[in-house]
Structure 1
Amino acid sequence: MNPEQNSQAVELVASQPLGMGQLFQTFFSLLLVILLIIGVAWVLRRSGRFGSALGGQLRAIGGLSLGGRDRILLVDAGGTHLLLGISPAGIRTLHVFPEPLELDERYGEAPPPFADTLQKILQKQNKSRE
């Protein structure tokens, strides 16, 4: 292609307005990329992959909702167990346990993923139909 043909091609493309199809394709492609970024950020945040500034020495052991927006939370902070009261007015330390509490092993386990639970239920239903 010589320079004259190049300039003619550029002028031809520049003179043609974007069609509605191209505009929709560009818009939905941009929307898809934004949703993908938000989805990945949500998954990383839920899985705890962002890491903590404390190196994993702070974790919630359990909690209890008291209704409304009030709750009690048991926290392990580097081997010290704290009982915290959380309300719209703020967070208060209710009790600091001098020694770590003896907890059942089941408190340290994460609940099974929803997909596994759903698969077990579906397998039970399939067995009952047979």
Structure 2
Amino acid sequence: MEQGLGAGAPDLGMLVLKGGGALILVLGLLLLTLYLMRRMGGGRGVSGRMRMLDVLQVGTKERVVLVAVRDRELLLGVTSASIRTLAEFPGEEKEIPAPEPGFGAFLRGALGKKEKAGEAPEAGHGR
């Protein structure tokens, strides 16, 4: 009952397949998480008529938040137990700007430029 030298060694192809599958699974979960965060409005941003302008962390669970709502700005004190209005500033009615384009817009633009650069010139324009 002789065993070969490689009897206990795992198959290299199977290791590559398992590692590649795990990598694809992790990247898929990452993309799903990013998609869900975007859909749920994760992070700061514009939401209808209300917008978070700034946040100042003043303790481990305490922060001061400046929020714009319609024609005024509110300074709020936020703790784990409560939210209190610290100050209210009248403002002028102004349109809330759209959020700046993120990495997705940059990537679409970069891919669009690459596609345009790779296109052949149209036949009717060369005289």
| Shared fold (TM-score, shorter chain, > 0.5) | no
The higher relative CO (CA closer than 8 Å, separation ≥ 6) is in 2
Q: TM class, shorter-chain normalised? A: 0.3 to 0.5
